[in-house]
Structure 1
Amino acid sequence: MEAIANQLNLDFEFFPAVSKFDRKELEKFNNSDQLLTSQKACYISHYKVYQSIIANDYDNVLILEDDVDIEMNIVNIMTDILSDLPIGWDLLYLGHCGWEKHGIPVGRSNEHGVYKSTKPGCTHAYAVSSLGANKLLKNLELNNLKAPIDLEIIEKIQQGIIISYSFQPQVIVQWRSVDNPSDVNPGSTEGSYPLRNSTLHYLGFSWNY
Protein backbone atom coordinates (compact mmCIF):
# COMPACT_ATOMS: atom_id res chain seq x y z
CA MET A 1 0.00 0.00 0.00
CA GLU A 2 2.84 2.40 0.78
CA ALA A 3 4.34 1.77 -2.66
CA ILE A 4 1.00 2.61 -4.30
CA ALA A 5 0.58 5.71 -2.13
CA ASN A 6 4.05 6.96 -3.06
CA GLN A 7 3.60 6.25 -6.77
CA LEU A 8 0.22 7.98 -6.99
CA ASN A 9 1.10 10.73 -4.49
CA LEU A 10 -1.85 9.81 -2.28
CA ASP A 11 -2.05 10.37 1.46
CA PHE A 12 -3.35 7.22 3.15
CA GLU A 13 -4.26 6.92 6.81
CA PHE A 14 -3.60 3.39 8.05
CA PHE A 15 -6.35 2.20 10.37
CA PRO A 16 -5.52 -0.57 12.89
CA ALA A 17 -7.67 -3.49 11.77
CA VAL A 18 -8.83 -6.23 14.11
CA SER A 19 -6.90 -9.45 13.47
CA LYS A 20 -8.49 -12.89 13.33
CA PHE A 21 -5.93 -13.79 16.02
CA ASP A 22 -7.09 -11.02 18.38
CA ARG A 23 -9.11 -13.28 20.65
CA LYS A 24 -9.67 -10.59 23.29
CA GLU A 25 -11.39 -8.28 20.80
CA LEU A 26 -13.27 -11.04 19.00
CA GLU A 27 -14.64 -12.50 22.23
CA LYS A 28 -16.53 -9.24 22.83
CA PHE A 29 -18.66 -10.12 19.82
CA ASN A 30 -18.20 -13.88 19.72
CA ASN A 31 -21.93 -14.54 19.52
CA SER A 32 -22.18 -16.33 16.20
CA ASP A 33 -20.97 -19.70 15.04
CA GLN A 34 -22.02 -18.88 11.48
CA LEU A 35 -18.96 -16.76 10.72
CA LEU A 36 -15.27 -17.59 10.49
CA THR A 37 -13.02 -15.68 12.87
CA SER A 38 -11.57 -13.87 9.85
CA GLN A 39 -15.08 -12.78 8.80
CA LYS A 40 -15.82 -11.54 12.32
CA ALA A 41 -12.54 -9.60 12.36
CA CYS A 42 -13.36 -8.04 8.99
CA TYR A 43 -16.85 -7.07 10.16
CA ILE A 44 -15.61 -5.45 13.38
CA SER A 45 -12.78 -3.63 11.58
CA HIS A 46 -15.10 -1.99 9.07
CA TYR A 47 -17.62 -1.13 11.78
CA LYS A 48 -14.87 0.64 13.73
CA VAL A 49 -13.99 2.67 10.62
CA TYR A 50 -17.61 3.85 10.40
CA GLN A 51 -17.38 4.92 14.04
CA SER A 52 -14.16 6.80 13.24
CA ILE A 53 -15.85 8.66 10.36
CA ILE A 54 -18.45 10.04 12.77
CA ALA A 55 -16.01 10.65 15.64
CA ASN A 56 -13.69 12.67 13.38
CA ASP A 57 -16.53 14.47 11.59
CA TYR A 58 -15.31 13.39 8.14
CA ASP A 59 -17.55 14.25 5.18
CA ASN A 60 -16.62 11.01 3.42
CA VAL A 61 -13.89 8.38 3.53
CA LEU A 62 -12.49 5.92 1.00
CA ILE A 63 -11.97 2.56 2.72
CA LEU A 64 -9.28 0.35 1.18
CA GLU A 65 -8.23 -3.07 2.36
CA ASP A 66 -4.50 -3.78 2.21
CA ASP A 67 -4.56 -6.10 -0.82
CA VAL A 68 -5.67 -3.76 -3.60
CA ASP A 69 -4.38 -2.54 -6.94
CA ILE A 70 -5.45 0.86 -8.28
CA GLU A 71 -5.82 2.47 -11.70
CA MET A 72 -2.91 4.85 -12.16
CA ASN A 73 -5.19 7.68 -13.30
CA ILE A 74 -7.52 7.28 -10.32
CA VAL A 75 -7.39 10.99 -9.45
CA ASN A 76 -8.58 12.04 -12.91
CA ILE A 77 -11.31 9.39 -12.89
CA MET A 78 -12.62 10.49 -9.50
CA THR A 79 -12.52 14.16 -10.50
CA ASP A 80 -14.76 13.34 -13.46
CA ILE A 81 -17.15 11.17 -11.47
CA LEU A 82 -17.65 13.10 -8.24
CA SER A 83 -19.24 16.08 -9.97
CA ASP A 84 -21.93 13.75 -11.39
CA LEU A 85 -22.57 11.70 -8.26
CA PRO A 86 -26.14 12.30 -7.00
CA ILE A 87 -26.54 14.27 -3.78
CA GLY A 88 -27.35 12.12 -0.77
CA TRP A 89 -25.25 9.07 -1.66
CA ASP A 90 -24.24 6.74 1.15
CA LEU A 91 -21.75 4.34 -0.48
CA LEU A 92 -19.68 4.37 -3.67
CA TYR A 93 -18.01 1.10 -4.66
CA LEU A 94 -14.78 1.73 -6.56
CA GLY A 95 -14.18 -2.02 -6.46
CA HIS A 96 -16.52 -4.93 -5.83
CA CYS A 97 -17.15 -8.61 -6.56
CA GLY A 98 -20.15 -8.34 -8.84
CA TRP A 99 -21.41 -7.06 -12.18
CA GLU A 100 -22.98 -3.67 -11.59
CA LYS A 101 -23.67 -2.36 -15.09
CA HIS A 102 -27.43 -1.99 -14.79
CA GLY A 103 -29.46 0.80 -16.39
CA ILE A 104 -28.12 4.21 -17.35
CA PRO A 105 -24.93 5.41 -15.64
CA VAL A 106 -25.23 8.42 -13.36
CA GLY A 107 -21.69 9.44 -14.24
CA ARG A 108 -18.88 8.45 -16.57
CA SER A 109 -15.13 8.88 -16.99
CA ASN A 110 -14.07 7.48 -20.36
CA GLU A 111 -14.78 3.73 -20.19
CA HIS A 112 -15.70 3.82 -16.49
CA GLY A 113 -19.35 4.30 -15.59
CA VAL A 114 -21.06 4.64 -12.22
CA TYR A 115 -24.35 2.79 -11.79
CA LYS A 116 -26.91 2.30 -9.02
CA SER A 117 -25.69 -0.64 -6.94
CA THR A 118 -27.63 -3.89 -6.97
CA LYS A 119 -25.36 -6.55 -5.47
CA PRO A 120 -21.81 -5.17 -5.24
CA GLY A 121 -20.19 -7.63 -2.81
CA CYS A 122 -16.76 -7.42 -1.12
CA THR A 123 -15.37 -4.53 0.90
CA HIS A 124 -11.90 -3.96 -0.56
CA ALA A 125 -12.62 -0.49 -2.01
CA TYR A 126 -15.63 1.66 -1.23
CA ALA A 127 -16.32 5.22 -0.16
CA VAL A 128 -18.64 6.01 2.73
CA SER A 129 -20.25 9.39 3.32
CA SER A 130 -20.97 10.65 6.84
CA LEU A 131 -24.66 10.04 6.13
CA GLY A 132 -23.84 6.50 5.03
CA ALA A 133 -21.70 5.86 8.11
CA ASN A 134 -24.57 6.92 10.37
CA LYS A 135 -26.96 4.60 8.52
CA LEU A 136 -24.55 1.67 8.73
CA LEU A 137 -24.00 2.15 12.45
CA LYS A 138 -27.74 2.33 12.99
CA ASN A 139 -28.64 -0.70 10.87
CA LEU A 140 -25.75 -3.14 11.37
CA GLU A 141 -25.94 -5.19 14.56
CA LEU A 142 -22.43 -5.68 15.89
CA ASN A 143 -23.77 -7.72 18.81
CA ASN A 144 -25.75 -10.02 16.54
CA LEU A 145 -23.50 -11.01 13.64
CA LYS A 146 -25.50 -13.01 11.12
CA ALA A 147 -23.48 -12.82 7.90
CA PRO A 148 -20.24 -11.36 6.48
CA ILE A 149 -20.41 -7.57 6.42
CA ASP A 150 -20.53 -7.27 2.63
CA LEU A 151 -23.66 -9.45 2.53
CA GLU A 152 -25.26 -7.45 5.33
CA ILE A 153 -24.61 -4.24 3.40
CA ILE A 154 -26.06 -5.74 0.20
CA GLU A 155 -29.23 -6.55 2.13
CA LYS A 156 -29.52 -2.92 3.29
CA ILE A 157 -28.95 -1.70 -0.28
CA GLN A 158 -31.65 -3.98 -1.66
CA GLN A 159 -34.03 -2.89 1.10
CA GLY A 160 -33.52 0.74 0.06
CA ILE A 161 -31.98 1.70 3.40
CA ILE A 162 -28.55 2.44 1.90
CA ILE A 163 -28.19 4.52 -1.29
CA SER A 164 -25.23 3.05 -3.13
CA TYR A 165 -23.47 3.37 -6.49
CA SER A 166 -20.82 1.19 -8.14
CA PHE A 167 -18.08 1.64 -10.72
CA GLN A 168 -18.20 -0.66 -13.73
CA PRO A 169 -15.53 -1.45 -14.81
CA GLN A 170 -13.86 -1.27 -11.43
CA VAL A 171 -11.05 1.19 -10.78
CA ILE A 172 -9.68 -0.67 -7.74
CA VAL A 173 -9.36 -4.47 -7.59
CA GLN A 174 -8.17 -7.10 -5.15
CA TRP A 175 -4.64 -8.37 -5.76
CA ARG A 176 -4.60 -12.13 -5.36
CA SER A 177 -1.52 -14.33 -5.50
CA VAL A 178 -0.05 -17.38 -3.80
CA ASP A 179 1.93 -15.23 -1.37
CA ASN A 180 -0.95 -12.79 -0.84
CA PRO A 181 -4.04 -14.94 -0.14
CA SER A 182 -7.35 -13.70 1.18
CA ASP A 183 -7.80 -13.68 4.97
CA VAL A 184 -11.57 -13.66 4.66
CA ASN A 185 -11.71 -16.41 2.01
CA PRO A 186 -8.74 -18.65 2.82
CA GLY A 187 -7.24 -20.51 -0.12
CA SER A 188 -8.72 -18.17 -2.71
CA THR A 189 -6.31 -16.82 -5.32
CA GLU A 190 -9.06 -15.82 -7.71
CA GLY A 191 -8.23 -12.80 -9.80
CA SER A 192 -10.63 -10.04 -10.68
CA TYR A 193 -11.28 -7.53 -13.43
CA PRO A 194 -7.93 -6.50 -14.95
CA LEU A 195 -7.15 -2.82 -14.65
CA ARG A 196 -6.36 -0.86 -17.79
CA ASN A 197 -3.39 0.85 -16.11
CA SER A 198 -2.39 -1.21 -13.08
CA THR A 199 -0.21 0.59 -10.54
CA LEU A 200 1.25 -2.67 -9.22
CA HIS A 201 2.13 -3.86 -12.72
CA TYR A 202 3.84 -0.52 -13.33
CA LEU A 203 5.82 -1.04 -10.12
CA GLY A 204 7.00 -4.45 -11.34
CA PHE A 205 4.61 -6.81 -9.59
CA SER A 206 2.97 -9.64 -11.51
CA TRP A 207 0.46 -12.40 -10.96
CA ASN A 208 2.45 -15.47 -9.85
CA TYR A 209 -0.01 -18.37 -9.88
Structure 2
Amino acid sequence: MAAQFSNSRYLNLQKEFRSSNRTLDFDHIYVIHLDYRTDRRDRLDEMASYLGLDLDYFSAISKHDGNVLRNYGSADMDLSQKACYLSHYVIYKQMIYKGYNSALILEDDVDFELNITAIMADIHHDLPPSWETLYIGSCFESMGEQVGKSSSVHRLYKSVAPMCMHAYAVSYSGAQKLIELLDPMVPRGTIDYSLSVVISEGKVSSYSVHPQPIVQWKSVDNPSDIPKSQSLSFNLLNSTLRFLGHNT
Protein backbone atom coordinates (compact mmCIF):
# COMPACT_ATOMS: atom_id res chain seq x y z
CA MET A 1 0.00 0.00 0.00
CA ALA A 2 2.88 2.36 0.90
CA ALA A 3 4.58 1.64 -2.42
CA GLN A 4 1.37 2.43 -4.28
CA PHE A 5 1.04 5.73 -2.41
CA SER A 6 4.67 6.62 -3.20
CA ASN A 7 4.30 5.88 -6.92
CA SER A 8 1.05 7.85 -7.11
CA ARG A 9 2.57 10.82 -5.28
CA TYR A 10 5.55 11.00 -7.64
CA LEU A 11 3.37 10.48 -10.70
CA ASN A 12 1.24 13.47 -9.70
CA LEU A 13 4.32 15.54 -8.89
CA GLN A 14 5.83 14.82 -12.28
CA LYS A 15 2.58 15.71 -14.09
CA GLU A 16 2.65 19.08 -12.35
CA PHE A 17 5.91 19.99 -14.08
CA ARG A 18 5.99 18.00 -17.30
CA SER A 19 4.00 20.47 -19.39
CA SER A 20 6.14 23.46 -18.36
CA ASN A 21 9.60 22.21 -19.21
CA ARG A 22 10.74 19.55 -21.64
CA THR A 23 14.48 20.29 -21.47
CA LEU A 24 15.00 20.69 -17.71
CA ASP A 25 15.54 24.45 -18.03
CA PHE A 26 18.36 24.07 -20.55
CA ASP A 27 18.11 25.09 -24.20
CA HIS A 28 18.68 21.54 -25.42
CA ILE A 29 19.28 17.95 -24.30
CA TYR A 30 21.80 15.86 -26.23
CA VAL A 31 22.14 12.11 -25.80
CA ILE A 32 25.45 10.64 -26.97
CA HIS A 33 24.31 7.38 -28.51
CA LEU A 34 25.86 4.58 -30.54
CA ASP A 35 23.26 3.79 -33.19
CA TYR A 36 23.46 0.03 -32.73
CA ARG A 37 22.55 0.26 -29.01
CA THR A 38 18.83 0.20 -29.71
CA ASP A 39 18.25 -1.41 -26.31
CA ARG A 40 19.44 1.73 -24.58
CA ARG A 41 17.49 4.03 -26.86
CA ASP A 42 14.29 2.08 -26.26
CA ARG A 43 14.66 2.53 -22.50
CA LEU A 44 15.49 6.22 -22.81
CA ASP A 45 12.55 6.82 -25.13
CA GLU A 46 10.24 5.17 -22.62
CA MET A 47 11.56 7.31 -19.77
CA ALA A 48 11.49 10.50 -21.86
CA SER A 49 7.87 9.84 -22.82
CA TYR A 50 6.85 9.43 -19.19
CA LEU A 51 8.95 12.34 -17.87
CA GLY A 52 7.96 14.64 -20.72
CA LEU A 53 11.49 15.27 -22.00
CA ASP A 54 12.69 16.14 -25.51
CA LEU A 55 15.90 14.27 -26.34
CA ASP A 56 18.18 14.82 -29.32
CA TYR A 57 20.17 11.68 -30.10
CA PHE A 58 23.69 12.53 -31.23
CA SER A 59 25.28 9.70 -33.22
CA ALA A 60 28.44 9.01 -31.27
CA ILE A 61 31.77 8.57 -32.95
CA SER A 62 32.58 4.88 -32.88
CA LYS A 63 35.80 3.08 -31.99
CA HIS A 64 35.52 1.62 -35.49
CA ASP A 65 36.06 5.06 -37.06
CA GLY A 66 39.77 4.41 -37.17
CA ASN A 67 40.50 6.83 -39.99
CA VAL A 68 39.17 9.67 -37.87
CA LEU A 69 40.47 8.59 -34.48
CA ARG A 70 44.08 7.91 -35.38
CA ASN A 71 44.61 11.67 -35.66
CA TYR A 72 43.47 12.38 -32.11
CA GLY A 73 44.28 11.51 -28.55
CA SER A 74 47.36 10.04 -26.99
CA ALA A 75 49.00 6.64 -27.08
CA ASP A 76 47.59 5.98 -23.58
CA MET A 77 44.00 6.13 -24.84
CA ASP A 78 42.40 3.26 -26.74
CA LEU A 79 40.05 3.81 -29.66
CA SER A 80 36.92 3.68 -27.47
CA GLN A 81 38.28 6.38 -25.17
CA LYS A 82 39.28 8.54 -28.13
CA ALA A 83 35.82 8.12 -29.65
CA CYS A 84 34.17 9.14 -26.36
CA TYR A 85 36.44 12.18 -26.05
CA LEU A 86 35.75 13.35 -29.57
CA SER A 87 31.98 12.80 -29.29
CA HIS A 88 31.74 15.16 -26.32
CA TYR A 89 34.06 17.68 -27.99
CA VAL A 90 32.00 17.77 -31.19
CA ILE A 91 28.89 18.56 -29.14
CA TYR A 92 30.61 21.64 -27.67
CA LYS A 93 31.25 22.86 -31.20
CA GLN A 94 27.67 22.08 -32.24
CA MET A 95 26.37 24.07 -29.27
CA ILE A 96 28.29 27.12 -30.45
CA TYR A 97 27.20 26.64 -34.07
CA LYS A 98 23.54 26.41 -33.09
CA GLY A 99 23.74 29.22 -30.57
CA TYR A 100 22.45 27.29 -27.55
CA ASN A 101 22.88 29.19 -24.30
CA SER A 102 23.09 25.86 -22.50
CA ALA A 103 22.80 22.15 -23.14
CA LEU A 104 22.46 19.06 -21.01
CA ILE A 105 24.66 16.23 -22.28
CA LEU A 106 23.65 12.68 -21.39
CA GLU A 107 25.15 9.33 -22.19
CA ASP A 108 22.63 6.71 -23.28
CA ASP A 109 22.75 4.50 -20.17
CA VAL A 110 21.16 6.84 -17.63
CA ASP A 111 18.28 6.63 -15.19
CA PHE A 112 16.48 9.59 -13.63
CA GLU A 113 14.83 10.43 -10.34
CA LEU A 114 11.08 10.37 -10.94
CA ASN A 115 10.83 14.03 -9.96
CA ILE A 116 13.85 15.14 -12.01
CA THR A 117 11.99 18.17 -13.41
CA ALA A 118 11.18 19.47 -9.94
CA ILE A 119 14.73 18.79 -8.78
CA MET A 120 16.23 20.74 -11.65
CA ALA A 121 13.84 23.66 -11.18
CA ASP A 122 15.17 23.93 -7.63
CA ILE A 123 18.81 23.61 -8.75
CA HIS A 124 18.40 26.32 -11.38
CA HIS A 125 17.10 28.64 -8.68
CA ASP A 126 20.49 28.39 -6.88
CA LEU A 127 22.73 28.14 -9.95
CA PRO A 128 24.84 31.33 -10.39
CA PRO A 129 24.55 33.06 -13.79
CA SER A 130 28.30 32.64 -14.32
CA TRP A 131 28.16 28.82 -14.30
CA GLU A 132 30.01 27.01 -17.10
CA THR A 133 29.60 23.32 -16.27
CA LEU A 134 27.04 21.61 -14.05
CA TYR A 135 27.41 17.98 -13.02
CA ILE A 136 23.98 16.44 -12.48
CA GLY A 137 25.57 13.01 -12.46
CA SER A 138 29.16 12.29 -11.42
CA CYS A 139 31.35 9.85 -9.54
CA PHE A 140 34.32 9.85 -7.17
CA GLU A 141 33.64 13.41 -6.02
CA SER A 142 33.62 14.78 -2.50
CA MET A 143 31.22 17.63 -1.76
CA GLY A 144 32.50 21.18 -1.97
CA GLU A 145 30.92 24.29 -0.49
CA GLN A 146 27.13 24.39 -0.73
CA VAL A 147 25.69 27.07 -2.99
CA GLY A 148 22.32 28.56 -2.07
CA LYS A 149 20.19 27.64 0.92
CA SER A 150 18.01 24.89 -0.50
CA SER A 151 16.71 22.45 2.08
CA SER A 152 15.75 19.83 -0.52
CA VAL A 153 17.46 16.45 -0.69
CA HIS A 154 19.35 17.33 -3.88
CA ARG A 155 21.51 20.40 -3.33
CA LEU A 156 24.00 22.46 -5.33
CA TYR A 157 27.70 22.54 -4.45
CA LYS A 158 30.90 23.90 -5.90
CA SER A 159 32.58 21.15 -7.91
CA VAL A 160 35.74 19.65 -6.42
CA ALA A 161 37.13 17.13 -8.90
CA PRO A 162 34.16 15.38 -10.55
CA MET A 163 34.65 12.32 -12.71
CA CYS A 164 32.28 10.52 -15.10
CA MET A 165 30.26 12.39 -17.72
CA HIS A 166 26.96 10.56 -17.99
CA ALA A 167 24.95 13.69 -17.09
CA TYR A 168 26.40 17.18 -17.15
CA ALA A 169 25.43 20.55 -18.59
CA VAL A 170 27.52 23.16 -20.37
CA SER A 171 26.77 26.86 -20.86
CA TYR A 172 27.62 28.76 -24.04
CA SER A 173 30.66 30.38 -22.42
CA GLY A 174 31.60 26.99 -20.98
CA ALA A 175 31.51 25.40 -24.42
CA GLN A 176 33.75 28.16 -25.77
CA LYS A 177 36.27 27.48 -23.02
CA LEU A 178 36.16 23.70 -23.38
CA ILE A 179 36.84 23.92 -27.11
CA GLU A 180 40.11 25.66 -26.24
CA LEU A 181 41.01 23.79 -23.05
CA LEU A 182 40.18 20.26 -24.23
CA ASP A 183 41.79 20.26 -27.67
CA PRO A 184 41.58 16.58 -28.76
CA MET A 185 44.92 16.91 -30.52
CA VAL A 186 46.67 17.30 -27.15
CA PRO A 187 44.48 15.70 -24.47
CA ARG A 188 45.66 15.24 -20.90
CA GLY A 189 43.87 11.93 -20.73
CA THR A 190 40.32 10.67 -21.07
CA ILE A 191 37.59 13.28 -21.47
CA ASP A 192 36.29 13.04 -17.90
CA TYR A 193 39.80 13.25 -16.46
CA SER A 194 40.76 16.18 -18.70
CA LEU A 195 37.64 18.15 -17.76
CA SER A 196 38.14 17.37 -14.07
CA VAL A 197 41.69 18.75 -14.26
CA VAL A 198 40.71 22.10 -15.78
CA ILE A 199 37.93 22.42 -13.18
CA SER A 200 40.43 21.69 -10.38
CA GLU A 201 42.76 24.31 -11.85
CA GLY A 202 39.99 26.91 -11.59
CA LYS A 203 39.78 27.46 -15.34
CA VAL A 204 36.10 26.49 -15.53
CA SER A 205 33.32 27.60 -13.17
CA SER A 206 31.69 24.32 -12.22
CA TYR A 207 28.97 23.10 -9.88
CA SER A 208 27.71 19.67 -8.88
CA VAL A 209 24.43 18.25 -7.60
CA HIS A 210 24.60 15.89 -4.60
CA PRO A 211 23.21 13.34 -4.31
CA GLN A 212 23.12 12.89 -8.06
CA PRO A 213 19.59 12.70 -9.53
CA ILE A 214 20.77 11.09 -12.80
CA VAL A 215 22.84 7.90 -12.62
CA GLN A 216 24.16 5.18 -14.91
CA TRP A 217 22.35 1.86 -14.97
CA LYS A 218 25.09 -0.43 -16.31
CA SER A 219 24.61 -4.05 -15.34
CA VAL A 220 26.16 -7.43 -16.05
CA ASP A 221 24.11 -7.77 -19.25
CA ASN A 222 24.66 -4.13 -20.20
CA PRO A 223 28.43 -3.50 -20.07
CA SER A 224 30.10 -0.23 -20.94
CA ASP A 225 31.06 0.39 -24.55
CA ILE A 226 34.44 1.56 -23.24
CA PRO A 227 36.28 -1.64 -22.19
CA LYS A 228 38.57 -0.07 -19.59
CA SER A 229 35.86 1.84 -17.77
CA GLN A 230 34.95 0.80 -14.24
CA SER A 231 31.50 -0.62 -13.71
CA LEU A 232 29.75 1.57 -11.16
CA SER A 233 26.40 1.30 -9.45
CA PHE A 234 24.53 4.19 -7.82
CA ASN A 235 21.12 4.25 -6.23
CA LEU A 236 18.28 6.71 -6.77
CA LEU A 237 15.60 7.50 -4.24
CA ASN A 238 12.89 6.83 -6.85
CA SER A 239 14.23 5.30 -10.03
CA THR A 240 12.23 6.02 -13.19
CA LEU A 241 13.37 2.72 -14.73
CA ARG A 242 12.13 0.76 -11.72
CA PHE A 243 8.89 2.72 -11.66
CA LEU A 244 8.34 1.71 -15.29
CA GLY A 245 8.96 -1.94 -14.44
CA HIS A 246 12.59 -2.46 -15.44
CA ASN A 247 15.17 -4.25 -13.33
CA THR A 248 18.41 -2.28 -13.00
TM-score by length of 1: 0.93
Q: Is the 8 A contact 2:126 2:147 kept in 1?
A: no
Q: Decide which of 108, 119, 124 is 1:82's aligned counterpart.
A: 124
Corresponding residue number in structure 1 for 2:46:
3
Corresponding residue number in structure 2 for 1:22:
65
Corresponding residue number in structure 2 for 1:204:
245
Deviation at 1:20, TM superposition (A): 1.1
User: CA 1:167–1:33 in 2, change beyond 3 Å: closer, same or farther?
Assistant: same
Q: Is the 8 A contact 2:105 2:166 kept in 1?
A: yes
2: distance between equivalents of 1:172 and 1:191? 12
1: distance between equivalents of 2:171 and 2:151? 21
User: CA 1:187–1:149 in 2, change beyond 3 Å: closer, same or farther?
Assistant: closer
Q: Is the 8 A contact 1:181 1:187 kept in 2?
A: no
1: distance between equivalents of 2:101 and 2:82? 27
- Whether 1:195 and 2:236 are equivalent positions in the alignment is yes
TM-score by length of 2: 0.79
Deviation at 1:185, TM superposition (A): 4.3
Corresponding residue number in structure 1 for 2:38:
none
Gaps of 5+ in 2: 1-43
Deviation at 1:32, TM superposition (A): 1.8
Deviates more, 1:128-137 or 1:105-114: 105-114
Deviation at 1:23, TM superposition (A): 1.4
Deviation at 1:187, TM superposition (A): 7.2
Q: Decide which of 120, 145, 148 is 2:162's aligned counterpart.
A: 120
Deviation at 1:92, TM superposition (A): 0.4
Matches within 5 A, 1:181-192: 181-186=223-228, 188-192=230-234
2: distance between equivalents of 1:186 and 1:144? 21
Q: Decide which of 105, 113, 125 is 1:71's aligned counterpart.
A: 113
SS in 2 for 1:108: coil
Larger Rg: 2
Corresponding residue number in structure 1 for 2:24:
none
- More helix per residue: 1 or 2? 2
Matches within 5 A, 1:1-209: 1-29=44-72, 32-106=74-148, 108=150, 110-186=152-228, 188-192=230-234, 194-207=235-248
Once superposed, what is the RMSD of the aligned Cα atoms? Answer: 1.5
2: distance between equivalents of 1:109 and 1:174? 25
User: CA 1:109–1:205 in 2, change beyond 3 Å: closer, same or farther?
Assistant: farther
Q: Is the 8 A contact 2:133 2:205 kept in 1?
A: yes
User: CA 1:182–1:167 in 2, change beyond 3 Å: closer, same or farther?
Assistant: same
Identity of aligned residues (%): 44
SS in 1 for 2:221: coil
For these two proteins, the number of residue pairs brought into alignment is 205
SS in 2 for 1:14: strand
2: distance between equivalents of 1:185 and 1:97? 18
Considering Cα pairs closer than 8 Å and 6+ residues apart, tell me whether 1 or 2 has the greater RCO: 1
1: distance between equivalents of 2:173 and 2:125? 18
SS in 2 for 1:48: helix
Deviation at 1:189, TM superposition (A): 3.5
- More strand per residue: 1 or 2? 2
Deviation at 1:124, TM superposition (A): 0.4
Gaps of 5+ in 1: none
Deviation at 1:167, TM superposition (A): 0.5
